[in-house]
Structure 1
Amino acid sequence: MNSRKVDVLVIENQVSDIEMILEALHGQSAGIKTAVVTNGFSALDYLEKHKPGVILLNPMLSDMEGIEFLRTLRAQPPTADIPVIVLTRHSDERSRSDVRELGVNGYVHKTNDVQVLADHFTAFQYLMSHEAVGKAA
């Protein structure tokens, strides 16, 4: 991504996707610290103690829908402003509009190509860093 240290929370329940996401993230920069949880309730528990710089969310979790997780996240002041990128294999417009209404910052169609995912993460990090610079100015 870039040389700035970034804490990333990955919320994913598919082992193969976790491996691919971690490979894409760690291939970008040594400055990325990742935490992985496999369900929404574990993610909410994690967020009570930590505030990552970004959340990568699979909206199809085993214990709660991604929409429910996003509503909970956005309703709590300590977590309401954490950027969220949805990673999914579903690319229909309904899925996109459902999560867009809850303020996601990115929507990435999962691919088995690690470099494509890495490029998406790099672009997102670039946009977020420039947005932060704009707010500071």
Structure 2
Amino acid sequence: MTCNTSPIRILYVEDDKILQLSLAQMLEILGYEVACADNGKQGVEKAESWQPDIILMDMRMPVMTGDQAIQVLRSKPDTAKIPIFVLSAFTDAKTRELCRQVGATKFITKPPDIRKIDADIKELLRLDG
């Protein structure tokens, strides 16, 4: 009997290098395989080439914003169904509605709670944790 023990692949798209590094390290400690991108454009490119199981996406970034990146990802067959959790410090109704409209799976308020993110990922992907 064989088990698939491949780690869940998370793409974290975040322009704040300190937050990017700290959250990526925490996710790796929890057993996830993490790749990072610094803006929405890099995030789209990495998602297409790496095919993550889930994407964590900041909203306000240079080059391409999170909502623009989500729209591009949702328009492409290879990335359209990848769950996308938005992480944002902007919690107003307009931002949340924009996330919903472009196809975000979940909205998470910054600063993120790593235990909550871990639980949400496992619940979404129906894993025992």
Consecutive unaligned residues in structure 2, runs of 5 or more? none
Displaced runs of 4+ in structure 1, greater than 3 A? none
Residue number among 112, 116, 121 corresponding to 2:117 in the alignment: 121
Q: Deviations over 1:86-131 (max 9, x none)?
A: 11111111100101112211111112xxxx621221221232133x
Q: Deviations over 1:15-49 (max 9, x none)?
A: 1211231233133x22x111111012212221231
Distance 1:121 1:12 in 2: 15
Greater relative contact order (CA < 8 Å, ≥ 6 in sequence): 1
State the Cα distance separating 1:4 from its structure 2 match: 6.2
SS in 2 for 1:78: coil
Aligned ranges 1:85-104 → 2 under 5 Å: 85-104=85-104
Work out whether residues 91 and 109 of structure 1, in 8 Å CA contact, stay in contact via their aligned partners in 2: yes
Query: What number of residue pairs does the alignment pair up?
Result: 123
Distance 1:67 1:122 in 2: 23
Work out whether residues 108 and 120 of structure 1, in 8 Å CA contact, stay in contact via their aligned partners in 2: no
Distance 1:75 1:51 in 2: 15
AA of the residue aligned to 2:89? R
Aligned ranges 1:1-137 → 2 under 5 Å: 5-27=7-29, 29-30=30-31, 32-111=32-111, 117-130=113-126
Aligned residues: percent identity?
A: 22
TM-score normalised by structure 1 residue count:
0.81
TM-score normalised by structure 2 residue count:
0.86
AA of the residue aligned to 2:24? L
